[in-house]
Amino acid sequence: MPILFAMEGAVSQGILWGLMTLGVYLTFRILNVADMTVDGSFAAGGAVTAVLIIKGMNPLLTLIFVFIMGTLCGLITGFMNTKLKINILLASILTQIALYSINIRIMGKANTPLLGSPTMMSGLRDLTGGALNNTRASLIIGIVVIAAIIALMYWFFGTEYGSAIRATGSNEHMVRAMGVNTNNTKIAGLMISNGMVAMSGALVAQSQGYADVGMGTGTIVVGLASIIIGEVIFGAHFGFWYTLLSVVFGSIIYRIVIAVVLQLGLKSTDLKLLTALIVAIALSVPVVKTKIDRRRRSLPGMNLEDETNTRKKDEDLKRADGDNSKLIPEVK
C-alpha cells in the first residue's frame, strides 16, 4: 500500500517535471546543443511564482511572469553564445551560476515557504469541495498544462519559423545558406526552452509548497534521463506529437523508478548515483540491441527476410543513436 501511494505521487511529479523535460528536449534534440541553464531557470521559476503568490497575485497568472523570466534566462545564454561567441556549454554554465545569486535576490532568502498561501493545487481542491488531495490536484493540473504545451509545440514547430528552428539544429550551414539568421533561431529556441523549464519549476514549487534556491540542482541530468528513457522504451513511430508524449512518459517512468526504489529502502542521498545508473543503462540499451541483432544475423540458417529485418533495425538504432536526422522529428 505505501508503494501505491508513492507511485501516485510519482506520477503527478513526473507530469509536472515532464514540462521541464520538454524544454530540455527542445535544446538537446531539436537544437542539438547542451544547455546547462535549466538548473538555474528551473529554480528561477519557483522563486518568481513564490514571491508573486506571497505578494497576493493569482497563482495561475504568475505563470506568465515565470515564463517571461525563463525566456530572459535563455536570452542571456543565447546572447553570450551568438553575439559574444562564447561556447554554448560555458555560456549556459555562466548563466546558471549567475542565476543562483539572482534567485536569492528575488526571494530575499534561500527558501520561501508557501504554507497557507493559495496555489493552483489548493484552488482546485477548494473548487471540488476538498474531494481532491494535493497529489491528485497536481496530477490534473499537470495533465492540462502538458496537453496544452504539447499542442502548442506541435503547432509552432509546424510553422515556417518553427521549422527554421528545427532545421538549425539539424544543419546550421544549410539553413544559413537559405537566408535564415541562425543566431536568432538559436536564441528563440533557448528562450522557449527555458521558459518551459521555468514554468515547470513554478508548478513544482506550488505543488510541494515552497521554493528553494537549490531546487534546480541536477535538473539537466533528470531531463536527459527522462528523454533517454522515453526514447528507448517508446521509440519514434508516429511523428512529432508521439515523440513529445514519449518524453513526458519517460519523465513519469523515471519518477516511478525513483519512488519504488526509495520505498525499498534506498537512501535519498543515493538518488544521484541511481540517476547516473539509469542514464547509463538507458544509453547502453541501443548498443546491446545492435550487438544482439548482429549476432543473430551471423548465425547459420538465417533466412533472407530475417536478415533484411535485422539490417533495418540495425540502421534504425544507429540513426536513433547519432544521426542528425533524428534531431528533427517529422511533424505529421
Whether residue 78 contacts residue 186, with contact meaning beta carbons closer than 8 Å, is answered with yes
Whether residue 296 contacts residue 310, with contact meaning beta carbons closer than 8 Å, is answered with yes
**Does some domain include residue 291?**
no
Please give the distance of CA 113 from its chain centroid, rounded to a whole number.
Answer: 25
In a 3-state reduction of DSSP, which class is residue 148? helix
Maximum alpha-carbon separation in the chain = 74
**Does some domain include residue 304?**
no
Q: What grid cell was written down for 91?
A: 555560456
Structure confidence by residue, pLDDT tens digits, 63-91: 999 999 999 999 999 999 999 999 999 99
Q: What are phi and psi of 156, to 5 degrees?
A: -65, -45
Quick one: pLDDT at residue 315? 62
User: Which of 17, 6, 9 minimizes the C-alpha distance to 142?
Assistant: 17
Helices (H), 26-87: 38-54, 62-82
User: Which of 220, 217, 17, 223 minimizes the C-alpha distance to 99?
Assistant: 217
Quick one: pLDDT at residue 107? 94
CATH for 176 = 1.10.3470
Judge whether residue 128 has pLDDT over 90: no
Judge whether residue 137 has pLDDT over 60: yes
Give the count of beta carbons closer than 10 Å to the beta carbon of residue 86: 16
209-229 burial code (b ≥16 CB/10 A, e <16): bebbbebbbebbbbbbbbbbb
The number of CA neighbours under 13 Å toward the Cβ of 141 is: 28
Please state, in angstroms and rounded to a whole number, the distance separating the CA atoms of residues 99 and 85: 20
**Does some domain include residue 170?**
yes
Judge whether residue 8 has pLDDT over 90: no
User: Into how many domains does the chain fold?
Assistant: 1
**Does some domain include residue 324?**
no
pLDDT, the chain, mean: 85
Lowest mean pLDDT across 166-170, 241-245, 311-315: 311-315
Quick one: pLDDT at residue 310? 55
Please state, in angstroms and rounded to a whole number, the distance separating the CA atoms of residues 71 and 198: 8
Collect all residues with Cβ–Cβ distance below 8 Å to 184 and sequence separation of at least 6: none
Share of residues in the chain with pLDDT > 90 (%): 52
**Does some domain include residue 206?**
yes
**Does some domain include residue 277?**
no
Distances (CA, A) of 26 to 112, 190, 193, 265: 30, 8, 6, 35
**Does some domain include residue 134?**
yes
Helices and strands (H, E) in the chain, number of each type: 13, 2
Mean pLDDT across the stretch 95-99? 95
Ranked by mean pLDDT, the top range of 91-105, 117-131, 173-187, 213-227 is 91-105
**Does some domain include residue 286?**
no
Collect all residues with Cβ–Cβ distance below 8 Å to 180 and sequence separation of at least 6: 164, 167, 168
Judge whether residue 304 has pLDDT over 50: no
Range of the domain at 126: 2-114+121-270
Quick one: pLDDT at residue 318? 57
Judge whether residue 269 has pLDDT over 90: no
Please state, in angstroms and rounded to a whole number, the distance separating the CA atoms of residues 27 and 77: 12
Please state, in angstroms and rounded to a whole number, the distance separating the CA atoms of residues 184 and 303: 52
